[in-house]
Chain A
Amino acid sequence: DQQVKQNSPSLSVQEGRISILNCDYTNSMFDYFLWYKKYPAEGPTFLISISSIKDKNEDGRFTVFLNKSAKHLSLHIVPSQPGDSAVYFCAASAKTAGNKLTFGGGTRVLVKP
């Protein structure tokens, strides 16, 4: 039973355009959501997060939107840059579960120059 799903395994976008990554979850106990970025042979690095009490969080080129009623979140990267090419993981956490992360399957993003 996958509690966090990323339905698009890959995404290709032109440099300078917007990348939109989507994530759906099923567990209503999740109260914190994160996006991690992963390059090959490296561990995931934290990108941006959002608490369940908010519906938007912005950090530079990265914005995360949360729709609690739809149990859906998305990551917008604008403008996309070639260095953004990586695998992006959506993750969710519940305070009641000690902050262990439940990850989606990842979306591989390729930004073409």
Chain B
Amino acid sequence: GAGVSQSPSNKVTEKGKDVELRCDPISGHTALYWYRQSLGQGLEFLIYFQGNSAPDKSGLPSDRFSAERTGGSVSTLTIQRTQQEDSAVYLCASSLAARGAYNEQFFGPGTRLTVL
């Protein structure tokens, strides 16, 4: 079956421009997560959506970062006025409802963002 997909796979932008990254989770998965991996670093949590609940935005590094999840499915991560330190691989993951027992998160291939 289809896994988590992300687009674009690569994005090169100029400093100061806005970018939008898209995530299509696995059908039926109500939980959706965004992480990023900067060069040589581990994965860093950004934001988490669970059904209709208010998202957990505790990992967003600045107010230039925002995310939406429309219709409980597709999610878009938006970075406004990009900076060079935003360069990273942005990874999306989805899972079944995150209540009680842990449910495995399935990751997409990521979007590699380069800010020149």
Binding site for B on A (CB under 8 A): 4, 6, 32, 36, 41-46, 49, 51, 89, 91, 93, 95, 97-106
Contacts and interface: CB of A to CB of B under 8 A. Distances in A.
A90 B53 CA distance: 28
Contacts of A98: 31, 48, 50, 56, 98
A59 B105 CA distance: 18
Nearest to A32: B102
B102 A44 contact: no
Contacts of A91: 43
Nearest to B46: A100
B42 A99 contact: no
Contact of B42 (A42, A43, A45, A89): A89
A102 B107 contact: no
A45 B107 CA distance: 7
25 contacts: A32-B102, A41-B109, A41-B110, A42-B109, A43-B4, A43-B93, A43-B107, A43-B109, A44-B91, A44-B107, A46-B104, A46-B105, A49-B102, A49-B104, A51-B102, A89-B43, A91-B43, A93-B102, A98-B50, A99-B103, A100-B33, A101-B35, A101-B105, A103-B43, A103-B44
B76 interface: no
Given A95-B102, A98-B50, A98-B56, A43 B95 contact: no
